[in-house]
Amino acid sequence: MKIDAFLYAFAAALALSGCCAMRSSESCSDCVSVSAVEGREPSLLPKGRSFRLVWNDEFDGDRLDESKWSYRTNFWGNRAPWFAAPEDNAVEVKDGRVHLKIMKKPDGQYVSPQLQTGELMWDMAWDEKRTGFFPLPKREKPKFVHRYGYYECRFRLQRKRGWWSAFWMQTEQQGCTLDPAISGVEHDIMESFTPGEIIAHCFHANGYSGNYVGFKTPRVKDAFASNVVARVGSDGFHTIGMLWEPDGYTVYIDGVQHGEKVGSGEGEAVSHIPEFILLTTECHPYRGKRMTAQPDEKLRKTLDEAVAAGDDFVVDYVRVYDEVR
């Protein structure tokens, strides 16, 4: 009896620590279904490898865990009015999922949330009270950054047109040097600009101006090309994951590799510094005309329909794994 009790306690401790007490079950072409968190949907992890869970949010409880997530509300020193703030009540946690919702404020402004585990320079608000020459205000320490490993999200896409959703990563130093290895690469693991569709996975380095470098998997010029857009539908949940290794990136949709491994080809690069995670939504077309564009009458009607329907981008979990060699 004492031995049995000891073994039970040991197994329970392993499970809680996220070590290799994960149970593999069915295969999904290029991945294996693994029970990583008790009582929750399994992860789909690349075959032939061992992983250890190092960070996750299963969105339990009735509110966002602000020890893990912050709201992105600013853009290059200005408040971005289309980014929802906590008081807009556009984020709802219920039934083990987080719902990112599109809302319309009394003044007609459409808002939707952008959640992140860290921040970079464009998140800084302008400091009107600064007395020194340095233009950046006080910065907050990131809540979670990580380098390499497997980054996984299970989600249900938005169902209405007029806005888009994404699961992605950035670095605190994005574009600060012209060496992506030390300033990082933006990882757009999942972007959906049209309900039910996921575009090619994009990677961006060296800032967003004249020195910009970008590439995609699959390797295409147009991320919206019909032959590479993944049409997954917007009614059910799907799982996407990115394996980030020192020599490149591999992306999987519902356990199947989508596109080739990229990062080591001509004109490509790999980040070798820790990055933070983002879950974001945004209405069209606020990024146009240097962030001053507004929706026209046709788009306002589309957005109003999304608001009236209570449309949302729903995330079941986000998990990060280290590969165990």
**227-236 b/e (C-beta count within 10 Å ≥ 16 → b):** ebbbebebee
Query: For every one of its 325 residues, what pLDDT tens digit does the chain have, with 9 covering 90 and above?
Result: 334 443 334 333 333 334 443 556 677 899 999 999 999 999 999 999 999 999 999 999 999 999 999 999 999 888 999 999 999 999 999 999 999 999 999 999 999 999 999 999 889 888 888 888 887 788 889 999 999 999 999 999 999 999 999 999 999 999 999 999 999 999 999 999 999 999 999 999 999 989 999 999 999 999 999 999 999 999 999 999 999 999 999 999 999 999 999 999 999 999 999 999 999 999 999 988 888 899 999 999 999 999 999 999 999 999 999 999 8
3-state secondary structure of 210: coil
Shortest CA distance to 103 belongs to which of 318, 298, 313, 317?
A: 313
Residue with tokens 């049995």: 4
The predicted structure's pLDDT at residue 24: 60
Domains of the chain: 53-324 (2.60.120.200)
> What's the whole-model pTM score?
0.91
Residues in a beta bridge with 318: 57, 153
> In Å, how far are 5, 7, 9, 13, 299 from 2, measured between CA atoms?
5, 9, 11, 16, 68
